[in-house]
């Protein structure tokens, strides 16, 4: 461990903004991508379920 204190770690020899800006941006975008992909999945499942129930309702109504 090369840091003697947490505040030194955050400060990054004066370059804190740039280093944490890079790491933060990377982590942030990756988390956003994961959330986006999860949300897409729920949307797809929801869409397919709706299509099927609509088809089932139509089929029922078509029966004499």
Partner 1 sequence: MKSTIFHFAAPQNFYRLAGQLWPLFGVVALLLTAWGLWLGLCVAPIDFQQGQAYRIIFVHVPASWMSMVIYVVMAFWALLGLTFNTRLSGMMGQALAPTGAIFAFLSLWTGALWGKPMWGAWWVWDARLTSELILFFLYLGYIALTHAIDDPRRADKAGGILALVGALNVPVIYFSVQWWNTLHQGASVSITKGSSMAQPMLEAMLIMSLAFWMYAIAMGLYRVRLIILLRERHAHWVTQLPEFNSASQGVAA
Q: How far apart are CA 57 and CA 46, in angstroms?
A: 16
Please, what is the minimum distance in Å from the beta carbon of residue 44 to partner 1? 5
Q: x/- binding map, residues 6-35, to partner 1, per CB under 8 A?
A: ---x--xxxx--xx-xxx-xx--xx--xx-
Alpha-carbon gap, residue 15 to 19, rounded angstroms? 6
Rg of the Cα atoms in the chain: 25
Enumerate binding residues for partner 1 (CB under 8 A): 1-3, 9, 12-15, 18-19, 21-23, 25-26, 29-30, 33-34, 37, 40-41, 44-45, 48-49, 51-53, 55-57, 59
């Amino acid at each position: 461990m090369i840091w003697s204190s947490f505040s030194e770690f955050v400060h990054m020899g004066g370059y804190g903004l740039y280093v944490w800006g890079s790491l933060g941006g990377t982590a942030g975008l990756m988390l956003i991508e994961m959330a986006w992909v999860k949300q897409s999945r729920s949307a797809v499942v929801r869409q397919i379920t709706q299509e099927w129930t609509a088809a089932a309702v139509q089929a029922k109504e078509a029966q004499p």
